[in-house]
Amino acid sequence: MRNINHRIVIIMLLLSGLSCAEKEKQEKWSIRMADAVMQRYVSLAFYNGRTAAGWSYDVALLGTAIDKLGSVNPAYSNYMKTFIDLLVDENGHIERYDMEAFNIDLIRPANNLLELYKKTGDEKYRKALGQFITQMENHPKTKSGGYWHKKRYPWQMWLDGIYMASPFLARYAAEFDQPQWFDVVAHQVIHIYEKTRDPQTGLLYHAWDESREQPWSHPDTGQSPHFWSRAMGWYLMALVDILDYFPEVHHQREELIRILNNTCEALLNVRDPESGVWYQVLDMAGKEGNYPEASGSAMYVYAFAKGAKNGYLPEKYRDIAEEAFDDIVETFVITDEDGLPSIINICGSCGLGGNPYRDGSYEYYINERIVKNDSKGVAPFILAALELNK
């Protein structure tokens, strides 16, 4: 009897061990990466070397991604909320937000306010929303009606800017019954598509200068010289998020879906056949200095997966997203010294103009700083994992 009991104990221990191993194997990437963020940083205010909370699009986006796990555990939603509450007082005032800068990047965190108002009904979030609508009512535009990226970048539209403002405006329009913003959003999306699209490849250049005054702009088209991976990622994420709120009967909804399909198809043509991911400069994989880039790759997977799930894209994109997500994990995800997962090969930041001047050359894009665990890569990775339930 003792031997039988001993064997039973051994079998139970083995089964227990297998169960734990299987559990670890099956744990979702969204949870693993969100947990890594929260274990490393008590608050998003200190994410990746920050020393204080700031009203910035990138950390707010990471908060959005983690908040989507709130149904698994309220701690994920609280992590986002406590960060936003560091910045927004009871009167809806945001000390670190400057409307007069007319910086379109500063609109993106207002999505977090919309989400918090929906969840809590706290009036401070509703009060805070008004200033962002006021900014967009007065935001400078090109002569053709496109929002400048920032006041200090006059006459310029950047692909990045579509994600920074348009999904917020579309959701605001839907939730506060302000349908005039749908027309504004459609114009921004379609206008920049027409101005930045390359007819040969279907890819979109990073930016467009209506004035042709910038040294980086083409004298005939006003387009910047290259296809930057994350710029197109921002644009695609904007499209699938906007469509969540766009009325079925809106006369330009089908045009937005057509643009989404055309742009996704163009991206499939420049996916690296060996790694299964996308390069920093999209059409120059294999050229010296170019590298597989994580944030753009994760953004595409998010857009493919969500677009297929919601019927905006053909079903094949679900399979492509599944496969490409696995390629992202293999190419970019490592186990770091602290035993937690990290994401490598994330471009820290790319822009145009400014001081020192960013000329938009190939050399510029490949030599910008590469940052491990940059929030602009971690957040889309979590969002893509959530869409795929990986």
Catalytic residues: 160
CA distance 266 to 121: 42
Phi-psi region at 10: left, alpha or beta (left = phi > 0; alpha = psi -120 to 50): alpha
Question: Rg (Cα) of the chain, in Å, rounded?
Answer: 22
User: 128 Cβ partners below 8 Å, 6+ apart?
Assistant: 88, 92, 93, 94, 110, 113
Number of CB atoms found within 10 A of residue 10's CB: 10
User: 308 Cβ partners below 8 Å, 6+ apart?
Assistant: 314, 315, 316, 317, 318, 321
User: 15 Cβ partners below 8 Å, 6+ apart?
Assistant: none
- Would you say the C-alpha torsion 317, 318, 323, 324 has a positive or negative sign? positive
What is the DSSP secondary structure assignment for residue 118, as one 8-state letter?
Answer: H
**Crossing angle, helix 159-175 and helix 180-196, to 10 degrees?**
160
Longest dimension (CA), the chain: 90
**Pair 263, 232: CB distance under 8 Å:** yes
What is the DSSP secondary structure assignment for residue 225, as one 8-state letter?
Answer: S
Q: Which two tokens stand for residue 52?
A: 């204080």
Q: Which two tokens stand for residue 213?
A: 């005054």
Q: Which amino acid, one-letter code, is at 263?
A: T
